[in-house]
């Protein structure tokens, strides 16, 4: 398999982002409650790009496979000071099952650790999203909490599992480091799953 290639997300990539957010399968286990209209997608895109302004190193990337745009992987900042980022990835269904998600997640995790070595890197996944759970585990994320029944879709309530990528000093600290991660997680909660929930437009601009 050809390695995915990455380029900084820009307004020129709106079309593929709109495809992602309009696809019911892509958003099935995300905080995007229903497929987005083009106007709603544009507001989401503007919010993502606005959040990248002023960062020492950008954190959201378009992913290409054999030159074709296939998805996005990123870690938007959560709050001020660049101390905490929410890890996410979304890919068009035609590219599922090829290992692209795992490759992109591992690449992004390594880049974030290099660019922001002291920052917290959080990610969430719905319990039934087996593919996402595998991707996070293989990228080095550790479980750090469960929000029971906090995901609701079509009348069904599911758990959201929270993960954190340990900093290098935490990884070398053995079980003591893991306990610190779990304690911080219990106090701070998860992040990535709710990023788009926070940025959700209040009105449909269509």
User: How does pLDDT run across 56-73, given as a tens digit for each residue?
Assistant: 999 999 999 999 999 999
Of 146 and 200, the one with more pLDDT: 146
Long-range contacts of 72-77 (CB under 8 A, 24+ apart): 72/9, 72/13, 72/16, 72/17, 72/20, 73/6, 73/104, 73/105, 73/107, 73/108, 74/9, 74/48, 74/108, 75/108, 75/112, 75/121, 75/192, 76/48, 76/51, 76/52, 76/195, 77/51
| Digit-coded pLDDT (tens) for 83-139 | 999 999 999 999 999 999 999 999 999 999 999 999 999 999 999 999 999 999 999
pLDDT > 90? residue 24:
yes
The model's pTM is 0.80
Cβ(81)–Cβ(116) below 8 Å: no
Q: What gap in Å lies between CA 192 and CA 114, rounded to an integer? A: 19
- Angle subtended at Cα 168 by Cα 108 and Cα 88, rounded to the nearest 5 degrees: 25
Q: Decide if pLDDT at 204 tops 70.
A: no
Residues in the chain: 206
pLDDT score, position 180: 30
Q: pLDDT tens digit string along 134-190?
A: 999 999 999 999 999 999 998 899 999 999 998 776 554 443 433 333 323 333 333
Compute the distance between CA of residue 17 and CA of residue 198 in angstroms, rounded to an integer.
18
Compute the distance between CA of residue 119 and CA of residue 146 in angstroms, rounded to an integer: 21
Task: Give the largest Cα separation in the chain, rounded.
Answer: 52
Q: Which tokens in the block code for residue 3?
A: 């390695």
The pLDDT, as a whole number, for residue 79 is 86
Give the H or E element holding residue 197: helix 195-198
**How many Cβ atoms from other residues are within 10 Å of residue 147's Cβ?**
16
pLDDT at 23: 97
Asked whether 72 and 62 are in contact (CB, 8 A), the reply is yes
């Amino acid at each position: 398999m050809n390695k995915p290639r990455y380029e900084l997300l820009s307004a020129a990539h709106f079309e593929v982002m709109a495809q992602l957010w309009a696809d019911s399968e892509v958003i099935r286990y995300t905080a995007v409650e229903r497929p987005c209209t083009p106007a709603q997608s544009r507001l989401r895109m503007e919010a993502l790009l606005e959040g990248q302004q002023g960062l020492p190193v950008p954190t959201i990337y378009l992913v290409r496979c054999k030159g074709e745009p296939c998805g996005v992987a990123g870690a938007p900042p959560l709050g001020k000071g660049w101390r905490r980022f929410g890890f996410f990835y979304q890919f068009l269904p035609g590219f599922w099952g090829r290992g692209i998600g795992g490759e992109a997640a591992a690449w992004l995790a390594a880049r974030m650790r290099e660019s922001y070595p002291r920052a917290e890197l959080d990610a969430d996944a719905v319990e039934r999203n087996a593919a996402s759970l595998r991707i996070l585990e293989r990228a080095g994320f550790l479980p750090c909490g469960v929000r029971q029944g906090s995901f609701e879709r079509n009348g069904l309530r599911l758990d959201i599992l929270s993960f954190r990528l340990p900093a290098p000093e935490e990884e070398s600290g053995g079980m003591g480091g893991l306990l610190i991660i779990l304690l911080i997680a219990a106090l701070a909660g998860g992040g990535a799953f709710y990023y788009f929930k926070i940025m959700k437009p209040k009105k449909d601009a269509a």
